[in-house]
Structure 1
Amino acid sequence: MDFCAIDFETATFERHSACEVGVCIVQNSQIVETKTWLIKPPSFPYFNQRNIDVHGILPSDVKDAPTFDEIWYEIEELMYGTLMIAHNASFDAGVLRGCLDFYGMFAPKLNYLCSIQLAKKSWNYLPKYGLKHLAEYHDIKFKHHRAGDDAEVCAKIALLAFEKLFLTTNDEVADYMKQKIKIL
């Protein structure tokens, strides 16, 4: 299995307001790297208080951070040619699209899959499928709502789900989840 897990935190309710991104790279079913970037959003210095209450990132944390367009090529290089997985993927794909659109950048041809859908197929008896609940169920400790930690937990959940479903290759995942895989 080769894929990347991605997670965004946002400064406001605007999709292009990413203030942090985390990417976890999985190669041969092993986590090989997790990277996190703080991002200065276009709304800087404004952050919505509700967003701050969720992730704890303050305007002062990103005052010297690069903007999304300054780090995108490094992120894209990490993700190149792999399946992207995110927990509540419609949100993270929407933020990625929003940031790319805001800066006038082309979206890569990228397939993505929601780890919630994967979890529901793997553990259809659970009462909740939030990242925090799945992490607790699998005894995975992490700092919730920080992009790097969330991306890495998403990758771990996906790997556990693939194992439970006996999926060992990207082609098998594509066949099994074909209706759930979307294109960015």
Structure 2
Amino acid sequence: MLDFCAIDFETATHERNSACEMGICVVENGEIVKTQTWLIKPPSFPYFNPRNIDVHGIRPEDVQNSPTFEEVWHEAENLMYGNLMIAHNAAFDAGVLRSSLDYYGFFKPKMEYLCSIQIAKKSWKNLPRYGLKSLAEQHQLSFNHHRAGDDAEVCAKISLLAFQNLMITRNDEVKEVMKKSVKML
């Protein structure tokens, strides 16, 4: 039984609590069952750093009528509940999640997380690059890069392919094989 959720954030500024988009891809029994994306009005609104806009293309006017992280967290938390969380460059996404929870005064869930870069490095040794785009190209996965829902889903697909390559079929095997890489939120 392989259950996890892949998560991705896009941010409006360098501040970790400035999520302007969140995507979650839910995997149950080794199958993707749902991907959900939320545009989020960040605390910095209406300010967005031009460099961040250059990366993801999300502008203040795209989120002006969107809910805040505070308003979408309970729905997101229900999707993630009890799951291992996986993200590509997980330190960034876990940091955005932690900072957003802190900013709005939410308790952090007791959740383990893992970086899909570490999973990929264990599965496919000696690749020239382990970025999400490079890994997606390597596995003929097309997606809209730097949009949270697409990035979360490709992260899930790459993780599933890596687990398959490593012959991992259950969450307890993930923890055994990746033990040094599993962190707590």
> TM (normalized to structure 2)?
0.99
Identical aligned residues as a percent? 71
Which whole-Å CA distance do the structure 2 matches of 1:3 and 1:110 have between them?
11
Matched ranges for 1:123-142 at <5 A: 123-142=124-143
Look up the match of 2:113: 112
Which whole-Å CA distance do the structure 2 matches of 1:151 and 1:121 have between them?
20
Matched ranges for 1:54-65 at <5 A: 54-65=55-66
Local SS of the residue matching 1:141: coil
Residue identity opposite 1:135 in structure 2: A
Q: Report the CA distance between 1:32 and its aligned residue.
A: 0.4
C-alpha RMSD of matched pairs (Å)? 0.3
Which whole-Å CA distance do the structure 1 matches of 2:100 and 2:79 have between them?
17
Deviations 1:87-114 (A, max 9, x none): 0000000000000000111000000000
Look up the match of 2:147: 146
Deviations 1:115-134 (A, max 9, x none): 00000001112000000000
Q: Report the CA distance between 1:167 and its aligned residue.
A: 0.4
Matched ranges for 1:167-178 at <5 A: 167-178=168-179
Any unmatched runs of 5+ in structure 1? Answer: none
Matched ranges for 1:19-98 at <5 A: 19-98=20-99
Which whole-Å CA distance do the structure 2 matches of 1:21 and 1:171 have between them?
27
Residues matched between the structures, number: 184
Local SS of the residue matching 2:86: strand
Which whole-Å CA distance do the structure 1 matches of 2:66 and 2:111 have between them?
26
Deviations 1:68-93 (A, max 9, x none): 01000000000001100000000000
Residue identity opposite 1:111 in structure 2: E
Look up the match of 2:180: 179
Look up the match of 2:14: 13
Residue identity opposite 1:98 in structure 2: S
Which whole-Å CA distance do the structure 2 matches of 1:48 and 1:130 have between them?
23
Local SS of the residue matching 1:180: coil
Which whole-Å CA distance do the structure 2 matches of 1:181 and 1:99 have between them?
21
Look up the match of 1:103: 104
> TM (normalized to structure 1)?
1.00
Which whole-Å CA distance do the structure 2 matches of 1:78 and 1:144 have between them?
22
Which whole-Å CA distance do the structure 2 matches of 1:106 and 1:64 have between them?
26
Local SS of the residue matching 1:99: helix
Q: Post-superposition, which runs of at least 4 consecutive aligned residues in structure 1 deviate over 3 A?
A: none
Which whole-Å CA distance do the structure 1 matches of 2:106 and 2:86 have between them?
21
